[in-house]
């Protein structure tokens, strides 16, 4: 790969036998989109993309079109998707897969692609279906990559006019690209992973004309707020500045491989969760948690209570009922919220009118109303170590989903994320959830105090409350 631009960048910025990998935070959706787009343009040999969701929307179609253009110039492209959200977008994936240099595979699918038959199959294969590939990775030429919390779609890239997600990714260059590729291959080669061509109906099979239309969409006038680099030269110039700003650090990558037995009970924490527990047990003064979905039950709270250190502060920032994209997930959190508080955790919930939205989300149409949601997943330990990736601090991620996480031993990066979380939990951005003197929940922000879920209507609060009575938090 001597002619690979990203490999040359690795050799330029890291010593040949350096144990360090170099990192940069991608804190806005626009930034994350532009870097992915530039990496596709700069690729010389291979692109491997692994995602839980790839939407058939403007940004999803743009990146698909650019992958086809890369394949046209000889780049080998592999796209690996989880089945839970793939159905319905089969035509897009079939179009990509029809290129001789692109292969698309689907992890743990059910045969029916739509309708009642699909729902019946999901229910009939409940244990197997609940084992999902939530891992996210993007690797170019085996030398540079991205991992983190984002899926592929407008709401993850600050391009949706109404709803956008606060999220976080990491651009990386160096030795840990190897383990990131191992995560991809563990699922790519799994017996429950199938070529997309075996799943879609024959009439969905598309040809060179359909591919050409996708490429044309990606080369014409774009309706995006972001304007990606056009062509290899512009992309390389864009990326050179990004690679210059990378921070070298000692780090580890941990991923959860597919289960050996998809039908077996999922009662043991997976490697990524065990890594989180180890870091938590060694924390001395502070743990800052940023998690879109947050559910810790007695088993986890027994492990986290104090960690043998009465001085340890555990602060968690998550979605409120009105910013959570899934009321079911919020209900599981609500079921255990009081117990988390009694165990000494501090809880903060994102306000839909958070003033910080205009710094977090480039497309401000999501700000000031009901268009903001939290999707990021990061934990900071003692402002020295950053744990970041696809893992939510909830039971589904701990026991059921496949996840990929980075453990980065960098005070600079840890402090940067800690500062973001500290800003997010300020009263103008979050509700501080507490137990009052009577032991009842209250939500506070400056002079405002609520005795129920703020800004949520009666039926939404009732739905969440009723769902919270059900012991289903492991599947949320």
382 is catalytic: yes
Paired tokens of 376? 């990021």
**Phi then psi for 250, rounded to 5 degrees?**
-70, 140
C-beta separation of 472 from 332 below 8 A? yes
Burial status of residue 102 (CB atoms within 10 A of its CB: 0-12, 13-18, 19 or more): buried
- 332's CB contacts (< 8 A; 6+ apart) are 293, 295, 394, 395, 467, 468, 472, 473, 476
Q: Measuring CA to CA, which residue among 76, 80, 388, 105 is closest to residue 254?
A: 388
Selecting among 225, 325, 382, 474, the annotated active-site residue is 382
CA distance 23 to 171: 6
CA distance 436 to 441: 6
Angle (CA) 210-216-218 rounded to 5° is 110
Selecting among 136, 160, 167, 353, the annotated active-site residue is 136
Question: What phi-psi label fits residue 89: left (phi over 0), alpha (psi between -120 and 50 degrees) or beta?
Answer: alpha
Selecting among 82, 89, 375, 420, the annotated active-site residue is 375
423: helix, strand or coil: helix
CA distance 173 to 9: 8
CA distance 23 to 400: 28
**Phi then psi for 124, rounded to 5 degrees?**
-70, -25
**Dihedral angle of Cα 94, 95, 98, 100, to the nearest 10 degrees:** -130
141 is catalytic: yes
CA distance 139 to 404: 14
150: helix, strand or coil: coil
158 is catalytic: no
**Phi then psi for 231, rounded to 5 degrees?**
90, 160
- 135's CB contacts (< 8 A; 6+ apart) are 50, 52, 183, 187, 255, 256, 390, 402, 403, 404
Instruction: Count the neighbouring beta carbons within 10 Å of the beta carbon of residue 476.
Output: 20
Q: Which residue has the tokens 């989903």?
A: 401
Instruction: Count the neighbouring beta carbons within 10 Å of the beta carbon of residue 2.
Output: 7
Q: Measuring CA to CA, which residue among 141, 83, 57, 164 is closest to residue 65?
A: 57
Alpha-helical regions (H) of 378-474: 395, 411-424, 458-468
C-beta separation of 395 from 476 below 8 A? yes
Selecting among 134, 158, 169, 256, the annotated active-site residue is 134
Burial status of residue 155 (CB atoms within 10 A of its CB: 0-12, 13-18, 19 or more): buried
134 is catalytic: yes
Selecting among 82, 90, 141, 154, the annotated active-site residue is 141
pLDDT in tens, the chain (476 residues): 458 999 999 989 888 888 899 999 999 999 999 999 999 999 999 999 999 999 999 999 999 999 999 999 999 999 999 998 887 788 899 999 999 999 999 999 987 666 777 777 777 777 888 899 999 999 999 999 999 999 999 999 999 988 899 999 999 999 999 999 999 999 999 999 999 988 876 555 567 788 999 999 999 888 888 889 999 999 999 999 999 999 999 999 999 999 999 998 889 999 999 999 999 989 999 999 999 999 988 777 765 554 556 688 999 999 999 999 989 999 999 999 999 999 889 999 999 999 999 889 887 677 877 789 999 999 999 999 999 999 999 999 999 999 999 999 999 999 999 999 999 999 999 999 999 999 999 999 998 999 999 999 999 999 999 988 888 888 87
Q: CA distances (Å), 17 to each of 8, 300, 336, 381, 400, in order?
A: 15, 39, 47, 28, 36
C-beta separation of 378 from 387 below 8 A? yes
């Amino acid at each position: 790969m001597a002619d690979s631009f990203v490999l040359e960048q690795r050799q330029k910025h890291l010593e040949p036998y350096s144990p360090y990998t170099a990192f940069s935070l991608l804190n806005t959706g626009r930034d994350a989109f532009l870097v992915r787009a530039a990496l596709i343009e700069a690729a010389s040999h291979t692109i491997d993309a692994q995602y839980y969701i790839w939407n058939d929307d403007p940004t999803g179609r743009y990146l698909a079109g650019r992958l086809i253009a890369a394949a046209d110039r000889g780049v080998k492209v592999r796209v690996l998707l989880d089945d839970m959200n793939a159905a319905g977008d089969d035509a897009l994936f079939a179009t990509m897969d029809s290129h001789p240099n692109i292969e698309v595979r689907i992890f743990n699918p059910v045969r029916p692609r739509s309708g009642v038959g699909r729902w019946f199959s999901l229910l009939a294969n409940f244990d197997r279906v609940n084992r999902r590939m939530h891992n996210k990775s993007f690797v170019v030429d085996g030398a540079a990559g991205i991992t983190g919390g984002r899926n592929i779609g407008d709401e993850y890239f600050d391009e949706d006019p109404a709803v956008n997600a606060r999220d976080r990714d990491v651009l990386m260059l160096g030795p840990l690209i190897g383990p990131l590729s191992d995560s991809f291959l563990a699922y790519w080669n799994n017996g429950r992973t199938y070529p997309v061509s075996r799943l879609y109906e024959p009439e969905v099979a598309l040809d060179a004309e359909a591919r050409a239309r996708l490429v044309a969409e990606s080369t014409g006038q774009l309706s995006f707020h972001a304007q990606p680099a056009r062509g290899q030269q512009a992309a390389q110039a864009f990326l050179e500045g990004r690679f210059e700003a990378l921070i070298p650090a000692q780090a580890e990558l941990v991923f959860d491989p597919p289960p050996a037995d998809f039908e077996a009970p999922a009662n043991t924490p997976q490697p990524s969760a065990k890594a989180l527990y180890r870091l938590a047990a060694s924390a001395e003064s502070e743990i800052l948690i940023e998690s879109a979905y947050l559910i810790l039950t007695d088993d986890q709270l027994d492990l986290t209570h104090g960690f043998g250190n009465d001085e340890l502060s555990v602060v968690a920032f998550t979605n409120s009922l009105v910013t959570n994209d899934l009321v079911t997930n919020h209900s599981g959190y609500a079921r255990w919220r009081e117990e988390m508080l009694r165990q000494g955790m501090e809880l903060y919930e994102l306000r839909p009118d958070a003033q910080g939205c205009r710094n977090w989300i480039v497309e401000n149409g999501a700000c000031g109303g009901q268009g903001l949601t939290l999707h990021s997943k990061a934990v900071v330990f003692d402002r020295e170590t950053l744990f970041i990736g696809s893992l939510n601090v909830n039971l589904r991620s701990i026991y059921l989903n496949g996840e990929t996480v980075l453990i980065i031993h960098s005070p600079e990066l840890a402090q940067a994320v800690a500062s973001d979380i500290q800003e997010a939990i300020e009263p103008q951005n979050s509700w501080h959830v507490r137990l009052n003197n009577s032991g009842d929940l209250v939500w506070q922000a400056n002079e405002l105090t609520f005795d129920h879920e703020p800004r949520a209507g009666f039926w939404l609060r009732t739905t969440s409350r009723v769902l919270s009575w059900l012991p289903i938090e492991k599947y949320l």
